[in-house]
Chains A and B, each alone.
Chain A
């Protein structure tokens, strides 16, 4: 198919304080049906969306952070995280969830598609995308 486009979802907000993170996640889940080349970029407070160990049992909120781990099954091929945003928040890749990806036809597997990238790579990846959705 020649009409496959490179989609990038740019996530810059923390998961619960505003609706942006959940909206973005829903669009990615629904958009998976359209067979595009989908990548996600997490910068600024958006990196908090991928922190492991969330527990909403004492909050009146649905915990949607486990849902990010199934994005590989929804055709998401890359999840990039801005290194400087992590460092400013005292975080490292060890604090982040791991997301597996598998091509069910070819059985090609990737253990973890979450990748920490530097500012130059962020810029290049955004520039190379044909469509960027901002959240």
Chain B
């Protein structure tokens, strides 16, 4: 191959930039999972009784389940008894009320991550509810949100302050019996975000959460619940990172979205968990169940994800389109390198009339990685005039990686129109040459072409994230195509 092959090696070999460990005291449960652990967890969080019952029910069901093995993934067996299910910064008892009270070392961590936590007011108005390991550390912009009537808080807080609201919606989109990882999450989730947008309110700013797994041997089990009541609108951003460690860490999250009549939820994720080193040692196992229900007529849910991290990604953000004229969208860029494995995609379940969905998925695989798109478009008999358009493109970088496309289409309604297209290719020498011939360096040319390849997804991201996503993409792949 051309000289760019060496450059590829160089760039692919780039170190994970977020891989620092914050040395702060943590209170951690001993490894293991049983009903006592769950009861202790629930007690520490001061949860209402129904939550404990919910967790135990989920745990009992989880014990009857087997790990799913249908994905195009090679996973070393996970020992669920060797994981600690709770890890919180020590000063939990006196939870910080404002940023000044937060452990300075923690704030330092966020600075390294580049989260504008203490510059919020000056920046574009992103309220961050940062989840550090499992407990929410600080929530900003609460006042402004409160004026608008928006509830945005850690789910543990919501369980204490709005138990009825949480009870009404928790587990109604992803039941505690949904799948192996969702059951596990329901049993042991430690924290997460809760958002409620009341009727007719357009959330005044974009809401944001940052997740980070810090302690070794801990799993991160967060749970997010977002409810957009009639005629409301919210845009929610989520980012994730984890430090470098040799062991694999488990992350099993559940995200539930509910959109009522005319409501719109936009959910954006930039996932940059530690992917393991160049030999495939370490890295996060990311098993996530994300699902949205468009319960109301004319509602809309849009998922946008940029997946660059994790040793293993198992994630299918889905939309159940119940309401008439409801809309589901899924925009995804998944980048895998070294020994990363990603099996990700979406499900669009059309039930209401005139529902429509769009799926745009861009997979980029490099190194020895495997990148799979797996999606389902299901049109029920009741979904008259349903419409789906799916496009899955894969870009291969290097000759030892794999790119796979497994779409499922099931249609029971003749007036439905479903289209699916997929292509797989590599950046051609011609394209590179064309750019180089005009004085653009090989590296810049590749970056341009890859960014162009992902443009239709990046344009869906909110401004702050789009910048980060492009930087991440550059970090993982710059110059590595040829």
Q: Do chains A and B interact in one complex?
A: no
Instruction: Tell me the B residues contacting A by CB distance below 8 Å.
Output: none
Residues on A lying within 8 angstroms of B by beta carbon are none
